[in-house]
């Protein structure tokens, strides 16, 4: 993997770049639609390409649990298995260490847990997690870490962060595939000194990129924005920076302003299935009765298939009637909106225009962090 910075915004830390992987080049900053189990819900790879998606994210834990990395490897790797020929990044399963806390135990060696599918026992180590991702044949792999709960005591956060750094070293030693980039993950909760120390120790290790983890789990928008910007400023300048799991439009704009290059979140797809759509004037709930006779498209300026062919009235009808087509058209629209937002952000950096005015300036952005 090669990362080249192409432009810098003189008014912030924002930059554009080219992330060159074994399965193609990604223009950054970029948003990765989430295909947790090897599929972005309701969309095909063709749909993702049509709305200008460059790279997608899948989840190591879930693919390991079902159908298993060996089956996927034997069938030609994850790209062939899911019919996606572009770059793929896989999360390590560190978030599941948090979300499945009732079924797991963390030790220095790794994480033991019971499957959420059938209760069977499993044990993941940093080495095994890297091995799974490389067996999948992905372009970017993440180290195993613990997504620290919020709130947590300083003692807990320090112990967990120190272990994440030790796991990161073991992950590097286990990496065997030069075509699979490996990213370290900065933890430290909401304690600046611990985040700074973690970032410094990981920067001393030869990772291909760095991610900010453990944010967006209850600390509130102001602290989230502050810690995200603080962490980005302490990552190496010449490597891609990834803000994990945060995806409100305002998060993306502030994240780009703070110097991040990659983003992912389930928000656009999950909200689509719940009837919430993103438009040039803000969010719109398509299930509202006000749209029952509305002949307009969801968003006049949107090039997605749904906006080019169907009215708000029809989309509301599909949603209220429980038609599967509603999930498809709504998801296609939201992913299209997100990719258009990223295109606009890249253009704003290149043109030296204000990031605050991207997307019409409708999103409530946090204050810039020095």
Tens of pLDDT along the chain (370 residues)? 999 999 999 999 999 999 999 999 999 999 999 999 999 999 999 999 999 999 999 999 999 999 999 999 999 999 999 999 999 999 998 777 777 778 889 999 999 988 889 999 999 999 999 999 999 999 999 999 999 999 999 999 999 999 999 999 999 999 999 999 999 999 999 999 999 999 999 999 999 999 999 999 999 999 999 999 999 999 999 999 999 999 999 999 999 999 999 999 999 999 999 999 999 999 999 999 999 999 999 999 999 999 999 999 999 999 999 999 999 999 999 999 999 999 999 999 999 999 999 999 999 999 886 5
Residue 102 DSSP symbol: G
- Structural domain includes residue 24: yes
- Structural domain includes residue 366: no
Residues 251 and 313 in one domain: no
Instruction: Please tell me the predicted confidence (pLDDT) of residue 97.
Output: 74
The pair of structure tokens assigned to 122 is: 């499993």
Q: Which of 237, 265, 293 is the last residue of a domain?
A: 265
Q: Which of 213, 236, 265 is the last residue of a domain?
A: 265
Q: How many domains does the chain have?
A: 2
Instruction: Please tell me the predicted confidence (pLDDT) of residue 369.
Output: 67
> d(Cα 131, Cα 144) in Å, to the nearest integer?
11
- 231 — phi, psi (to 5°)? -70, -45
Catalytic residue among 91, 139, 197, 208: 91
Residues 17 and 160 in one domain: yes
Supply the range of the domain harboring residue 279: 266-357
**Residue spans of alpha helices (H) in the chain:** 45-50, 60-65, 69-74, 78-82, 94-99, 126-136, 154-174, 192-203, 221-232, 249-258, 267-273, 305-309, 312-321, 324-351
Residues 188 and 327 in one domain: no
- Structural domain includes residue 367: no
Q: What does the DSSP assignment read for 290-332?
A: GGTT--S-S-TT--SHHHHH--HHHHHHHHHHT-HHHHHHHHH
pTM: 0.97
Residues 229 and 275 in one domain: no
Q: Is 264 one of the annotated active-site residues of the chain? A: yes
Instruction: Please tell me the predicted confidence (pLDDT) of residue 370.
Output: 59
Residues 292 and 219 in one domain: no
Residues 175 and 306 in one domain: no
Residues 296 and 325 in one domain: yes
Q: Which of 227, 243, 265 is the last residue of a domain?
A: 265
- Structural domain includes residue 368: no
Let me know the angle formed at the C-alpha of 30 by 29 and 35, rounded to the nearest 5 degrees: 155
- Structural domain includes residue 364: no
Residue pair 186/243 in contact by the 8 Å Cβ criterion? no
- Structural domain includes residue 362: no
The pair of structure tokens assigned to 231 is: 């962490």
Catalytic residue among 145, 208, 264, 299: 264
Residues 227 and 90 in one domain: yes
Residues 252 and 327 in one domain: no
- Structural domain includes residue 205: yes
Residues 285 and 174 in one domain: no
Residues 182 and 304 in one domain: no
Residues 17 and 81 in one domain: yes
- The domain that contains 11 carries what CATH number? 3.20.20.105
- Structural domain includes residue 294: yes
């Amino acid at each position: 993997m090669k990362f080249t910075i192409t432009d810098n915004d003189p008014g912030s830390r924002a930059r554009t770049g080219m992330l060159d992987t074994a399965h193609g080049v990604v223009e950054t900053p970029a948003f990765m639609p989430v295909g947790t189990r090897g599929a972005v819900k309701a969309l095909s790879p063709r749909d993702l390409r049509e709305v200008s998606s460059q790279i997608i994210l899948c989840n190591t834990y879930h693919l390991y649990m079902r159908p298993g990395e060996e089956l996927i490897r034997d069938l030609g790797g994850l790209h062939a298995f899911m019919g996606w020929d572009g770059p793929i990044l896989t999360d390590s399963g560190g978030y599941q260490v948090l979300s499945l806390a009732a079924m797991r135990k963390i030790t220095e060696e790794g994480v033991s847990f019971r499957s959420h599918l059938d209760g069977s026992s499993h044990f993941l180590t940093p080495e095994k997690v890297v091995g799974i991702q490389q067996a999948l044949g992905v372009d970017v792999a993440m180290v195993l870490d613990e997504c620290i709960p919020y709130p947590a005591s300083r003692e807990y956060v320090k112990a967990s962060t120190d272990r994440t750094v030790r796991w990161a070293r073991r992950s590097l030693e286990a990496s065997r595939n030069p075509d699979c980039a490996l990213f370290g993950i900065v933890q430290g909760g909401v304690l600046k000194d611990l985040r700074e120390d973690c970032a410094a120790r990981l920067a001393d290790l030869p990772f291909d990129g760095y991610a900010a983890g453990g944010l967006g789990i209850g600390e509130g928008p102001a602290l989230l924005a502050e810690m995200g910007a603080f962490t980005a400023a302490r990552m190496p300048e010449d490597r891609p920076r990834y803000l994990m799991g945060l995806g409100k439009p305002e998060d993306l704009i502030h994240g780009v302003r703070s110097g991040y290059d990659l983003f992912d979140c389930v928000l656009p797809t999950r909200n689509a299935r719940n009837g919430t759509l993103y438009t040039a004037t803000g969010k719109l709930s398509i299930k509202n009765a006000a749209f029952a006779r509305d002949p307009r498209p969801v968003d006049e300026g949107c090039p997605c298939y749904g906006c080019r062919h169907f009215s708000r009235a029809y989309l509301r009808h599909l949603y209220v009637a429980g038609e599967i087509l509603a999930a498809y058209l709504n998801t296609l629209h939201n992913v299209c909106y997100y990719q258009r937002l990223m295109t606009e952000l890249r253009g704003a950096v290149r043109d030296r225009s204000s990031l605050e005015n991207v997307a019409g300036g409708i999103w409530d952005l946090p204050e810039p962090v020095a």
